[in-house]
Amino acid sequence: MSRLLVTLLLLLPLFSAPAAQESAEWVARQVRDRSAGRDSRAELRMRLFDSHGRVRERALTMLRMRGEKEKGDRALIRFTYPNDIRNTAFLVWEHPDTDDERFLYLPALGRVRRISGQEKDESFVGSDLSYEDIGGRDISDYTYAFTADDTSWLAPDGSKRPAWLLESRAKDKNAELPRSVSFVLKDSFVISAADIFNRRNERVKHFEVRKLERVEGIWTVLDLVMSNERDNTRTELTTSSIDYNVGLTDNDFSRRQLEAPAR
């Protein structure tokens, strides 16, 4: 019995490490799968600050629909203001078992450009947000671990909310931004803040939620900022209105709708 006990104690770290890793991946999946209604329609304002503090404003609409069975989520973003970007649109078809499809419609050129997986870390139409920030990430493209599983996030109102500190590492060795460390709120599975690092492990971006409220019973990020510390720029994204469960269908996320003019 004593030999068996010693053996079990020696093997315990080998068994506990995968359990922790599985738990971290479970948290990542809860972030992806958290309750957000069957679909939603939102109106947003984007503010882009350059390195000199000058600001440009944009308006956009965002449609989202939760995937069912073999189909993944769908998203369609269309800019409505100003005129130089009006009708530019971005469509995402997520696929559970294959690479996601991303399409960018450029009305000035009258054509649709497919965004490849290698471009997912690139700037989304000149903002500090990437295509992956907007279109979502594939859980299987990353590994996950806790850097702390019992911490708290300091909200803008000064309150502290229990959170996990979750590290994500890209499996792709050529990823431009291979690592991020995120605060995941335990009561809602919302990512409330994140630091994003380059290949030299330098912090390049910082993400922060500035307003989080329940809308129709669903935790909703209403104001966020993404700061680029390398370029000294930042992008603010504010939701002015959002409605859930509005009855969207697959037809609202077609290539035809991607090229449709803003109404």
Percentage of the chain modeled with pLDDT above 70: 90
Return the ∠ at Cα 154 (arms to 35 and 31), rounded to 5°. Answer: 20
DSSP 8-state secondary structure symbol assigned to residue 140: G
Question: pLDDT tier at 204 (50, 70, 90 boundaries)?
Answer: very high
- 69: pLDDT confidence band, cut at 50, 70 and 90? low
The amino acid present at 112, given as its one-letter code, is V
**Across the chain, which distance is largest between two alpha carbons, in Å?**
78
Asked if residues 162 and 183 have their Cβ atoms less than 8 Å apart, the reply is no
- Domains of the chain, with CATH numbers? 16-258 (2.50.20.10)
CA–CA separation, 79 vs 101, rounded Å? 20
Please spell the DSSP secondary structure of 193-255, one letter per residue. Answer: EEEEE-TT--EEEEEEEEEEEEETTEEEEEEEEEEETTTTEEEEEEEEEEEE-----GGGGSH
**Cβ distance 147 to 167 under 8 Å?**
yes
**Omega before residue 82 within 30° of 0, cis:** yes
Residue 184 above 70 pLDDT? yes
Among residues 65, 68, 95, the alpha carbon closest in space to that of 77 is found at 65
Residue-wise pLDDT for 124-161, tens only, equals 999 999 988 887 777 888 999 999 877 999 988 889 99
Express each pLDDT in 215-253 by its tens digit: 999 999 999 999 999 999 999 999 999 999 999 999 999
CA distance 42 to 40: 7
pTM of the predicted protein model: 0.85
Task: Tell me the average pLDDT of the chain.
Answer: 88
114-127 confidence digits (pLDDT tens): 988 778 788 999 99
Question: CA 162 to CA 185: how far, in whole Å?
Answer: 6
Band of the pLDDT at 263, cuts 50, 70, 90?
A: low
pLDDT at 203 over 80: yes
Label residue 11 by pLDDT band (50, 70, 90).
Answer: very low
Q: Answer whether 175's CB lies under 8 Å from 201's CB.
A: no
Cα–Cα nearest to 196, from 97, 118, 116, 130:
130
Q: What mean pLDDT comes out for the span 9-38?
A: 67
Note the residue count of the chain.
263
Pair 127, 149: CB distance under 8 Å: no
Element (H, E) at 115: strand 111-115
CB atoms within 10 A of CB 115: 20
